Amino acid sequence: MLGKVLNERYKILKELGKGGMAIVFEAQDLLLDRKVALKMLRPEYVNDRDFVKRFRHEAKAVARLSHPNVVNIFDIGQDQDYQYLVMEDIEGKNLKDLIKERGNLDVVEALNIAKQISAALVVAHRNNIIHCDIKPHNILLTDDKQVKVTDFGIARAVTSTTMTITDTIVGSAHYFSPEQARGGEIKARSDLYSLGIVLYEMLTGEVPFKGDSPISVALKHIQETPKKPTLINPDIPSNIEKLVIRAIAKDPAERFITAENMENEIESILCDYSNKSLLNRDSIEHGDTMVIKKSELKNSKLENRNGKKAKNEKKYLTYNEPKSTSSWVKWLVLVFAMIMIATIGIFIFYRTYMDVPVVEVPDMIGMNIKDARKEAAQVGLQLEMQNEGVHHPEIAEGNILSQYPLGGERVRQTRSVRITISLGPTILTAPDLTGLTIREANVILDNQKLSLGNIEEEYSDSIPEGRIISQLPESGEEVGAENQINIVLSKGALPLMIEVPNILGLEKEDAVSLLEKNNFNLGQMNQKKTKRFLNNQVAEQSYDPGTKIPEGSKIDLTISSGLINTENAVLHKSFTMKYYVPSGSREQTVEIVIIDNNGRDTLYKSQHNPGDNISVYFNSVGPTRYEIYINNQLVEQGKVTD
């Protein structure tokens, strides 16, 4: 691809990166003489209407946005099979690379980046666009730390900032919201959850949830409470930790109402930091003495404690608060009271939480909630619901899906066991697959957590070859998540069925001519020495004579390269045996066997109706006998004579 020019305008210079759907190149806009980023749909997806539609959707979605923190889309084009977007070329790195390089970021730097991301989300949400995939990989940083949000490839255009994607998970597992993990309703607040996860990672250098697979990470988003950021990085101020915890609340109602609210909160915290920094520069506290800069006292009028004007301004450059003896008594009383309160608190805490028996947690996974409460009560434990429940294909509704601590662990009786209740299998409606190809059906079923089951094939005069005739369960019927849909696939219109002629013993050229005359095609041809056929004669055919197969089918032939028994070759004789199939009440299997110096061989075997005439050509060496079987019963035998 390097050096290729698309539409006589965009010359590809180098590859910048690859994604699941597209490859990004750096290119030169020959018309405007500037560097651009060219995002090209992968070749394997150019004929997939769904991917092309999604690719073009990204351009339309971002083209509606005009903001310094959103990557600009300049153009969208197609050159033969190449589908591409032309975007602003950002020189810098993505946020993920910065976090890997630095570990965790400075608090103010992290807040500034989060503020710019939220600003981009404000303009997106105002245009009824939900990004759905906010993550550090999609946050580009220029050299002067300006944020550019990119990759709106799975963004959704919505009305009233609300959207439902039934049983479809979109986004990246470490950053998507619980509602995305459940495949439920997605609102603008889902982007704010993802931004909260990104801010968590910037401040700590870690994502809150990790797992062996995307599914395990998704379940943690739904079920588990993240570790507080200050447990990883103690330098994080409490007000910033509260901001992060609010952003990543599992209940969308507990998060910020809009991206603008979150941006304002971040701005407020940054202002506090700025004011504190200014205060630390302008004034320094030393015990009870406040040292004030002379510049702040210039042209000011100072009054003494009785309200009189100062006679000597220098006298007030330092002001000392007189200390009273009674203040020491107050401090002693206060310290004594605090010690007493702390002692009483420790005593109560010990009696309530520590001076209790240690018990073994019962294994309650799979139990219904009523039995689980009884089981927990027997050892003095209580159950605590973690969330509203999660669908599971195997655990019945109302039974426990997971618990923490796990069964077998030993804990004090005061500790609650957090549980998640199964909502049972997800009930879906079977989509209508009739008329679709297998590839199209797989895309639809994969989006609904379903899959194809048994595939049968039938001829159809109305449904084109390769498309689905019928399905089971039928369209509209209820099915469980991860169930299979069985289909019947069309083989096209039923072809004309023709009997295969007997070409054994014919010269190769005559055999090919006879096949073409009967509207068959020649398949593969092999050669080998045989016992019954001379050089260039047909020794085997892939379909038995008399078999009915579709018109136009290919028939493979084996051509003899001469007799195996060359010593007796001069003694060989050529024969054409004719046989009349006797009358009967049903179709019969006729088999003709030859015995000579080359051994015993079945020359002919096929189905025939009563009254059919059979003609078999062969060569034999030495004295020759024949046997004829009908339905595996010997009906005739004798010597072959000239």
Query: Which tens digit of pLDDT belongs to each residue from 546-593?
Result: 888 988 899 999 999 987 765 555 556 788 888 888 877 677 888 999
Does the pLDDT at position 349 exceed 70? no
- Residues 421, 399: contact at Cβ < 8 Å? yes
Please give the pLDDT value at position 266. 94
pLDDT of 240 strictly over 90 = yes
Side chain identity at residue 240, one-letter code: I
What distance in Å separates the CA atoms of residue 318 and residue 596, rounded to the nearest whole number? 133
The rounded Cα 427 to chain-centroid distance in angstroms is: 21
Provide mean pLDDT across the span 355-377. 85
Q: What pLDDT does 277 receive? A: 55
- Whole-angstrom CA distances from 24 to 30, 36, 239 are 18, 10, 40
| pLDDT for residue 384 is more than 80 | yes
Q: Report pLDDT for 354.
A: 52
CA distance 359 to 60: 60
Which of 150-164, 305-319, 604-618 is the most confident on average?
604-618
Residue 553 neighbours by CB under 8 Å, 6+ apart: 520, 521, 543
Residue 338: predicted pLDDT? 82
pLDDT at residue 468 in the model: 95
Half-sphere exposure in the Cβ direction for 304 (13 Å, CA):
9
Q: Would you state the pLDDT for residue 351?
A: 52
User: Higher-confidence residue: 494 or 455?
Assistant: 455
Q: Specify the DSSP class assigned to residue 286.
A: E
How confident is the model over 237-246, as a mean pLDDT?
93
Q: Using an 8 Å Cβ cutoff, are 136 and 201 in contact?
A: yes
Check residue 263 and give its pLDDT.
Answer: 93
Angle 113-118-119 from CA coordinates, rounded to 5° = 95
pLDDT at 169 over 60: no
pLDDT tens track for 95-114: 999 999 998 999 999 999 99
The catalytic position among 89, 97, 133, 167 is 133
**CA nearest to 418, candidates 385, 462, 463, 458:** 385
User: What pLDDT sits at residue 20?
Assistant: 66
Q: Strand 427-429 vs strand 289-291: parallel, antiparallel, or unpaired?
A: unpaired
At residue 446, the pLDDT reads 80
DSSP symbols for 522-550:
EEEEEEEEESS--TTBEEEESS-TT-EEE
Percentage above 90 pLDDT, the chain: 31
Q: What is the CA radius of gyration of the chain?
A: 42
Q: What residue type is assigned to position 450 of the chain? A: L
User: Phi-psi bin for 25: left (phi > 0), alpha (psi -120 to 50), beta?
Assistant: beta
291 token code pair: 């040292």
User: Dihedrals φ, ψ of 640, to 5°?
Assistant: -90, 125
User: Over 80: is that where the pLDDT of 626 sits?
Assistant: yes
Instruction: Give the pTM.
Output: 0.44
What is the pLDDT, as a whole number, of residue 88?
Answer: 87
pLDDT in tens, 389-443: 777 777 888 898 888 888 888 887 767 888 888 888 777 889 999 999 998 888 8
Least confident interval from 198-202, 211-215, 432-436: 211-215
pLDDT 10s digits, 75-88: 888 888 888 889 88
Q: Is 143 a catalytic residue?
A: no
CB atoms within 10 A of CB 539: 21
Tokens matching residue 10: 């965009």
Residue 276 token pair: 């504190």
Residue that is written with structure tokens 């009523």 in the block: 370
**635 has a pLDDT exceeding 80:** yes
One-letter amino acid identity for 143?
D
What pLDDT shows up at residue 289? 32
H-helix segments, 449-573: 508-517
| Residue 631 pLDDT greater than 70, yes or no | yes
C-beta of residue 255 within 8 angstroms of C-beta of residue 246 = yes
Q: Which residue has the higher pLDDT, 480 or 315?
A: 480
DSSP 320: E
pLDDT-derived band at 183 (thresholds 50, 70, 90) equals confident
Separation between Cα atoms, residue 145 and residue 139, nearest integer Å: 11
Alpha carbon 134 to its chain centroid, in Å, reads: 16
Query: Can you tell me the mean pLDDT for 153-167?
Result: 38
Residue 158 pLDDT grade (very low, low, confident, very high; cuts 50, 70, 90): very low
453 vs 426: which has the higher pLDDT: 453
Average pLDDT rounded to a whole number, residues 25-53: 84
Is the pLDDT at 211 greater than 70? The verdict is yes
Torsion angle of the four alpha carbons 613, 614, 615, 616, in this order, in degrees rounded to the nearest 10 = -170
Select from 539, 530, 624, 541 the least CA-distant residue to 575: 624
Residue 348, burial from CB neighbour count under 10 angstroms (0-12, 13-18, 19+): exposed
Query: In this predicted structure, what is the pLDDT of residue 302?
Result: 36
Q: How many Cβ atoms from other residues are within 10 Å of residue 301's Cβ?
A: 8
Counting every residue written for the chain, the total comes to: 642
Q: pLDDT value at position 307?
A: 43
**What is the pLDDT at residue 621?**
79
pLDDT level of residue 294 (50, 70, 90 thresholds): very low
